Amino acid sequence: MITSRAQKTIGDLLALADIKINGDNAWDIQVKNDRLFERVLSEGPVGLGESYMDGDWDCEALDEFINKTVRAQLESKIRPIKMLLPIAQAWLINRQRKARAFDIGEQHYDIGNDLYTKMLDSRMIYTCGYWKDSDNLEDAQVAKLDLICRKLNLQPGMRVLDIGCGWGSFAGYAAQEYGASVVGITVSKEQIALAQKRYQGKNIEFRYQDYRDVSESFDRIVSVGMFEHVGPKNYRTFMQVADRCLDDDGWFLLHTIGTPISRTAADAWTDKYIFPGGVLPLASQITAASQGLFLLRDWHNFADDYDRTLMAWYENFEKSWSQLSGYDERFYRMWRYFLLTGAGAFRANRGQLWQIVFSKSGVSADYNSVR
């Protein structure tokens, strides 16, 4: 068998992560088309992901394949010129500016409520669950919602702003279980439509609105899984909006994926196919953006729970695939790649999951950490 230079290069790199080409382990890759090797060397993460979408390779345990490659830092060993473009764009352009605020809604959250209904829990919560005392997705997501309410010391009659409300899961829970009055904003028309239908008659107002356009007073502010779309050039603006909307004695909880690795943009495949303009923040970027506006009261990291959450979503997706219509085989492979590579990245500690509680800088009330 003749081995190309590209195949040998990729094979040698994979060996550093204990991965073999056409090996017997579940995390070994099974190559269907040798063009894979040149595509990866010339296009990096985009080439790897697109090759999988095109059926050039398979892997039984794709999540573990990613876990191993990330731990071995293989992505740092392949740096094609094409990978520099999104980095340059992030430095030169504000990709999350207001004029583009609704792009992510159209390209990701509006692709079909049927897909998300089948994949997520019954409340349709598209963020990390809290598995501390839970052994299933449904309970883990309710536990997360209740954790947030307890961290905010939510009381009946309080007015709450939910920045990035999704399909209304937190708003519905806070209104039903804690008697709060909630304003939820999102950039997804599909989320708004379903949320309004689900929570009709509740003390909740859902708005199709960018966070920069909110200028009202609230007792509490919460943002769950939206900060990843804000972008470094807008972190300070986001914090200023929260500051102007939060009452002087209020509390603000930020729930976001974070990263220990400094980046100006998400990896190129994720940026192209899943979350255009998405960027994971560094802890230092969050503290810098909040400086002089908020006092940091609590920082809770439960990143391991996102691995379990993503694997639970993947199981639901697999079980429900035959019931979904309007999606082709390439979409199936794209979505499988998205969910399982995400789980593998969290397993490798590349992703973090933070819940951060802020108060106004002048507030003197004690804060007791809740877990």
Question: Domain residues of the chain, as ranges?
Answer: 5-79, 97-360
The pLDDT of residue 112 = 73
> For residues 287 and 98, is the Cβ–Cβ distance under 8 A?
no
The pLDDT of residue 97 = 64
Which DSSP category does 80 fall into?
Answer: -
How does 98-122 read in b/e, with b if 16+ C-beta sit within 10 Å?
eebbbebbeebbbbebebbebbbbe
The count of residues in the chain is 371
pLDDT tens across 19-37, in order? 999 999 999 999 999 999 9
Residues of the chain below pLDDT 70:
1-3, 79-108, 110, 263-266, 362-364
The pLDDT of residue 249 = 92
- pTM of the predicted model as reported, rounded to 2 decimal places: 0.92
> Which two structure tokens, joined as six digits, stand for 134?
């839970």
- Short-list 191, 273, 162, 280, CA closest to 230: 280
Please give the helix or strand (H or E) that residue 317 lies within, else none.
helix 304-320
> Which two structure tokens, joined as six digits, stand for 45?
């993460």
The pLDDT of residue 94 = 63
The pLDDT of residue 276 = 86
The pLDDT of residue 78 = 81
What are the two backbone dihedrals, phi and then psi, of residue 61, each rounded to the nearest 5 degrees? -110, 75
Structural fold of domain 97-360: Rossmann fold (3.40.50)
The pLDDT of residue 75 = 85
How, if at all, do strands 204-208 and 181-186 pair? parallel
